[in-house]
Amino acid sequence: MERRLVSILQTAIESSVSLEQAISCFEVFSEVLNENLLKGLALKSFQGFNQQFKQKLETVVKEFQQQKSRPTLEPNMPEMSGQVFWARVQINRVRIPFMKLEALHNAYLAKEQDELYDQNKLRYSQFVSMVNQYEKEKYEMWSGNVNEKCVKKLEEFLLKRTEIEIIGLEKRSKLDSEGKLDEKGCYMVE
């Protein structure tokens, strides 16, 4: 029976589409398989998991460094908060796989020395620090001029009332030639 379960676990790991999914297989089978069998499978699989995580982490770090000056923001997202949100999404892309990898390591391989795992752990913490520094810079840039912007906005009227006639399209050129439109194309009230 255990051999069949081990075979099923190996097949599940091999057919997993993501690192998180592969490691989750150990969590599922931990209730039904012997710990020594799981430890043996973890030892066999852990190097591959580490390699996958390293590739994913390097991809995310590279994308972060390339895009941090002009990140892709969600539609209608304010610039500063959108940039911070984008940075946090980048961390989340590797946070969950790292947490799963760390849990697997702690559960079955805590006594084993693994240089690649230690390198990945260090690189992950460096990336988190890099993103935290990016967020801090964005906050400082925003907070540096927020007071003067707020004062300026508070001095403006909430509603401005002006009496403007409705201008038809045919009259626009006439108004422009008479100098009654400003540089933005708005009707100037005399």
- 126 & 173 share domain: no
Do residues 148 and 175 both lie within one domain? no
Answer whether 112's CB lies under 8 Å from 104's CB.
no
What CA–CA distances, in Å, run from 122 to 60, 118, 126, 146?
A: 15, 6, 6, 36
133: its two tokens: 């520094």
Domain count, the chain: 2
Residue 58 has pLDDT above 90, yes or no: yes
What's the pLDDT tens digit per position in 132-161?
A: 999 999 888 888 877 787 777 777 766 555
Copy the structure tokens of residue 139.
């906050």
Confidence band, pLDDT 50/70/90 cuts, at residue 122: very high
What is the C-alpha separation between 109 and 149, in angstroms, rounded? 55
The model's pTM is: 0.69
Q: Where in the sequence is the domain holding 187, given as residue range(s)? A: 163-190
The verdict on 44 and 75 lying in the same domain is yes
HEC profile for the chain?
CHHHHHHHHHHHHHCCCCHHHHHHHHHHHCCCCCHHHHHHHHHHHHHHHHHHHHHHHHHHHHHHHHHCCCCCCCCCCCHHHHHHHHHHHHHHHHHHHHHHHHHHHHHHCCCCCCHHHHHHHHHHHHHHHHHHHHHHHHHHHHHHHHHHHHHHHHHCCCCCCCCCCCCCHHHHHHHHHCCCECCCCCECCC
**Same domain (yes/no): 94, 188:** no
Residues 65 and 147 in one domain: yes
Based on the fold, state whether residues 120 and 172 are members of the same structural domain: no
Overall average pLDDT of the 109-116 stretch: 80
pLDDT reading at 167 higher than 50: no
Q: 114 and 190 share a domain? A: no
Could you tell me if 177 and 108 lie in one domain?
no
Q: Quote the CA–CA distance of 87 and 81 in Å, as a whole number.
A: 10
